[in-house]
């Protein structure tokens, strides 16, 4: 399954891509954030950073039990370093459901590039 995201800035693009991933996995989720996880990543370019970022969001859900509600990108620099926080609530099986199980974020036909109105990403997920 593929997702396509847009953003006026690279930071906004990464937030929108994470929101799209959350929707693929959990459907629509609402609530007030109760906890926060800090994320710091370093990669070899924006494409690798996108794969690592979305993989980290999956990790937080699957391994740390964080149902993500908010994504805040503090910075993405020219050396493909990202500082962010993911805020959400504890995943509760009676309250939250997994719509689709995503095994991995892939490199297949991956695109992260400037677009006429900012930035565009295309990312395929292994279900």
Instruction: Average the pLDDT over 77-97 and give the result.
Output: 94
Q: Residues 49-78: pLDDT tens digits?
A: 999 999 999 999 999 999 999 999 999 999
The CATH code of the domain that includes 8 is 3.55.10.10
Domain that holds residue 55: 2-126
Q: How many domains are contained in the chain? A: 1
User: Among the ranges 28-37, 39-48, 93-102, which has the highest mean pLDDT value?
Assistant: 39-48
Sign for the CA dihedral angle at 12, 53, 32, 95 comes to: positive
Q: Residues 108-122: pLDDT tens digits?
A: 999 999 999 899 999
Residues composing the chain: 127
């Amino acid at each position: 399954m593929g997702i396509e995201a847009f953003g006026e800035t690279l930071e906004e693009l990464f937030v929108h891509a994470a929101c799209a991933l959350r929707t693929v996995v959990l459907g629509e989720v609402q609530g007030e954030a109760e906890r926060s996880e800090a994320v710091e990543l370093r990669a070899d370019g924006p494409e690798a950073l996108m794969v690592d970022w979305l993989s980290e969001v999956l990790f937080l859900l699957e391994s740390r039990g964080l149902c993500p509600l908010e994504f805040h990108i503090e910075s993405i620099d020219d050396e493909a370093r990202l500082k962010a926080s993911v805020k959400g609530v504890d995943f509760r099986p009676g309250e939250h459901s997994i719509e689709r199980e995503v095994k991995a974020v892939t490199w297949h036909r991956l695109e992260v590039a400037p677009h006429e109105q900012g930035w565009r990403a295309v990312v395929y997920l292994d279900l």
